[in-house]
Structure 1
Amino acid sequence: MGIVGSSPTLVIIFSPLTLVHVMVAIYLEYFGRPMGLWRTSAKLAHTLLEVCFICAWSAAFSLCFDNFFTSLIPCASAGSIAWYNELSRPELTLPNLGRNKGGVGDTLCDYQLALICLVGVGLVTYCINIVISLFRIFEKVKSYAGFRPTMPF
């Protein structure tokens, strides 16, 4: 427990919140007005919430990498972390936890690598989504900027 680090726990905390956010967005998109027709303030609030999720998943992504490179299990070779870390790894106190082919440590390292990939894909999709949301906001603001009401003087 905790031998890899805290990244799996953090992902377990963020995942339900993300699922709720995505399900609400899908519900609003299909059963409400499309996001392209939302008021600008509502779009900005939704985009700000997406920025919060991007920050959370960025933190999880960096923690996943940190746990992969600095965990007690030697997932990464000592040479790959020597350029920034001059501290040696602590000694393993549990038997059979090393990076033996097919061992427990090898499986945990593979799971941590899969977690890095999963969080990375989620982060990329959130970034693509925010680009689309910002494009919608800019298009709406641009269309309002071209509108000049005439004054009846």
Structure 2
Amino acid sequence: MGRTQGFYVDTVQRTSPADRDAVWSVVEGIGGERGWYSTDRLWAARAAANRLGLPPGRLRHREDPDRLAPGQRLDWWTVEALEPSRRLRLRALVRMPGEAWLDIFLEPRADGGCLYRQTTVFRPAGAAGRAYWYAMLAPHKAVMGRLASDILEHARR
């Protein structure tokens, strides 16, 4: 975890024997009715904490179960950027003292597998945002590490 120009950045990087298209298929299909794999309950708990300020149905939503597009909502995220088979950037919709993004980047490897890089970026809003980041750091690392493992495991199936 590092800090860059006022942003907190945390990256999980792994290699997979699965090819980039197989991994992308899992990445693009995440959320909605499929959920977030073994971290689904933790993601849902975080979103449920936000439920009081959200209209009904806002916590679990996908317009298309297989494809994403910029501007679409994906559960408690908005698809901010999408480069098929390469990159997905989500912006968090949940209330927090700052702004957060989740960026997933895939790069093919010479051996036929791929490099998976998942980066969380948080821009804190003042002291409350900084305190929030550090308070959430341990659960964040556990959830993000598990999410990366689950995505790569499903891609190998």
> Same fold judged by TM-score > 0.5?
no
Scaled by the length of structure 2, the TM-score of the pair is 0.26
More helix by share: 1
Query: Considering only CA atoms, is the larger Rg found in Structure 1 or Structure 2?
Result: 1
More strand by share: 2
Scaled by the length of structure 1, the TM-score of the pair is 0.27
